[in-house]
Amino acid sequence: MGRILFLVLLCLSSTHCGQSNDPHAEDGRDVKNHDVHVRDVDPPLIIISEVNAANPSSDNDQEFIELYNTENRAILLEGYVIVLYDGSVLQRAYDVIDLSQHAIQPHGYFVIGSSNVTPRPNLVLEKGRDILQNGPDAVALYYGTPSAYTKRMPPTRESLMDVVVYTKHANINNGPLITALVPGQLEVLESGIVDVSVSRCGGMTPLTLSLFRATYPSPGTANDCRAPPKPNVVINEVNADNPSYDTKEFIELYNPGDEDIPLDAVYLIFYDGDKNWASQVVDLTGRQITAKGYFVVGSGDLVPRPDYVFPRQNIVGNREDGIALYYSPDSRLYELMEVTADNLLDAVVYSTGSWDGTNTVLQTLTPGQQALHEDANANPGDVDESLSRCKGLGTRSSSQFVVSYPTPGSRNNCSVNAPKVVINEFGANNPSSAKEFVELYNPEEKVVTLDSVFIVFYNGENNMAHIAVDLSGYTIRANGYFIIAPDNPTVIPDHKLDKYEDVILSGEGGIGLYYDPGGSYFVGMPLTFNYLIDGIVYSPKNWKGSDEVLKTLMPGTDPLYDDTTAAQRDIVLSLGRCGGNGPIEFDQWNSKLVKSSPGEPNMCDNYTPNKPNVPGPQMSTQGKSNGGTVAAIVIVVGVVLAVGAIGGFFLYRRWRMGSSRGDDVFSLAYSAVTNKNTKPQEQEGLEL
């Protein structure tokens, strides 16, 4: 009995009691006993190394979680559990992954992911399963009893080994998850223009979110901590100040590349130039800009409707302010932050008047440059203006912008780069259509090319193009003229129009001269103000056409009147410039019809400027303006007073002298009034 008790005690003291002597025997797992550390009172240090929760396309699901073993030994993952927490609504666990029956090699990686991940994960989750939500959510690693972790459990720090709380939108955070799991820290941003992961790049300390950043994915290997590529996007146009109320403000971005670009982690920030802080932050995450395309951020009243609509009016400052475009995949940008050049892609600093800000915004965003001036008086009348990129795609370069006309969502109006050519003379309503013509003039001391220059003739009633001519390939000599006309017995045109009769539309019409590289202009196209160099609107008598033609081609001015019906048939009359060569300067046009002079200096002996809102003189008795009506009333009243005076004189004389000639005088005065519209030759011999 004592011998048996001794053997039992000896067996219990041996570390191999009850075990096989075969060194290759296994314990039912795929790892050998002598290579694996099973479980300690103090668990080995297994940490979360990388999380990829959001892919550019759900059709190419490559989500994964990567663990890393900091030990010099293989570790059996018995008791290790991953809990996935929903941070948006439930604030509960939406999935639990038990890692028992698996192991991780010394200083090795263990990947849990979809079958699309390359190389193949150590633990492949079933096909079609959404492994990770896109945030704000959390991936938590626990060491404990697996059955204690269940779906819908609330977040807990008990037995928590490591955690990553992540979000796709910097301004959409998750306070409850942070408070419950890693209080006082900030979520990790998983955002970029390409597929990115949140990767541990700053050290091995667990439960420290600041050690993670957005990187290229690298499942199963050492983390690739290079910064992801920046998007090739520029600020293309800015409209900060509108006539009267600022209800059509916008900023336009442009993608010059050949591929669509997601705008994840791209931010548009509006800076107050006096306080040097961010007054508004626009997070464009979740949106994209198409190849060679535009993305407009603007007011809801803007037409066409912006891709991103401001939450309120007057977001864009219109004093001395700055607009900056950032790409910040691993740091937050927020309102009231100080102006910074970190992660800056592009910037525009502007003023609607002379710059008198502190210059901190100016020198930080566009150092060594002058602020752009969005001059409200740059365009005629109440026509709005914008700051448009017209001289290149260089970033943070103010010299590449000009004051032009707003073109949200389309190519900028860069007519400031156009040749200095103007419409100089035209005759459209002559008795013979063969005598119609339009003359262009080059006021420069050099030859200019007409490449990308178009002239469009509009029907003044339906606002549609009647003729459209591409003048590319032509030139105009220095201080020279260029004639556009049908076959003409009086002038040889530089460009002959195809048709002969009524080519230049009689009646109400408009002519637009455009500069538009890459543009297309055609018969039937609608009226447009974009890319306009110069324009005129004409009518034979009283304007009966569309107000849109007037507002577009001659804003703030009445049309030019070219009624030639009273002209002798062998005399061609025209309207021409006499007061200068400024484009869209309508008071430089002579309102008087004169003998035409195509290809030669205009006849300007009797120059009468075409004043705003006052029609030119007409050869008919009817007019459009209130001035003509008032003048007619004054004449009638004057005649009535004169008749009254004569009648009074007649009555007085009749009272004194009797009625010998008084009736004749009164009859004569009455006849003068009633026959005031009689032709002059029909009134000869009438005397008072």
Looking at per-residue pLDDT, the higher value among 326 and 417 belongs to: 326
Q: How far is CA 470 from CA 237, 454, 457, 509, 583, in A?
A: 27, 5, 12, 19, 19
Q: Which of 476-480, 500-504, 531-535 has the highest mean pLDDT?
A: 476-480
Q: What is the distance in angstroms between the CA of the first residue and the CA of the last residue of the chain? A: 167
Higher pLDDT, 619 or 603: 603
Pairwise CA distance, residues 274 & 276, whole Å = 6
pLDDT at 424: 96
What's the rounded mean pLDDT across residues 538-556? Answer: 84
403-454, pLDDT tens digit by residue?
988 999 999 988 778 899 999 998 866 655 557 889 999 999 999 999 999 9
Of 550, 599, 595, 555, residue with least CA distance to 424: 599
Q: Are 280 and 251 in contact (CB under 8 A)?
A: no
Let me know the angle formed at the C-alpha of 546 by 540 and 550, rounded to the nearest 5 degrees. 75
The confidence band for 585, taking pLDDT boundaries of 50, 70 and 90, is: confident
Determine the pLDDT at residue 41: 54
CATH, range 33-215: 2.60.40
Does the domain spanning 419-595 belong to CATH 3.40.1210.10?
no
pLDDT-based confidence at 199, cuts 50/70/90?
A: very high
The answer to whether residues 372 and 349 touch, using CB atoms and an 8 Å cutoff, is yes
CATH class of 234-415: mainly beta
Q: Where are the beta strands (DSSP E) in 299-428?
A: 308-309, 320-327, 344-351, 372-373, 386-389, 401-404, 422-427
671 CB-side CA count, 13 A: 13
Token pair of 30, please? 């795929």
User: Is the distance from CB of 572 to CB of 427 less than 8 angstroms?
Assistant: yes
Residue 42 has pLDDT above 70, yes or no: yes
Compute the distance between CA of residue 235 and CA of residue 325 in angstroms, rounded to an integer.
7
Is the pLDDT reported for residue 608 higher than 70?
yes
Question: pLDDT at position 431, please?
Answer: 58
Retrieve residue 343's tokens.
């992660």
Top-ranked range on mean pLDDT: pick from 39-48, 106-115, 378-387, 419-428: 106-115
pTM of the model: 0.66
Weakest-pLDDT range from 269-278, 485-494, 572-581, 597-606: 485-494
Q: What are phi and psi of 390, to 5 degrees?
A: -135, -5
Contact 53, 190 (CB under 8 A): yes
350-366 per-residue burial string, b: 16 or more CB within 10 A, e: under 16: bbbeebebeebbbebbb
Of 430, 425, 428, whose CA–CA distance to 597 is shortest?
425
Residue 43: is the preceding peptide bond cis (ω within 30°)? no
Identity of the residue numbered 622: Q
Instruction: Using alpha carbons, list the distances in angstroms from residue 162 to 15, 28, 80, 181, 230.
Output: 33, 28, 11, 9, 30
CA distance 465 to 173: 54
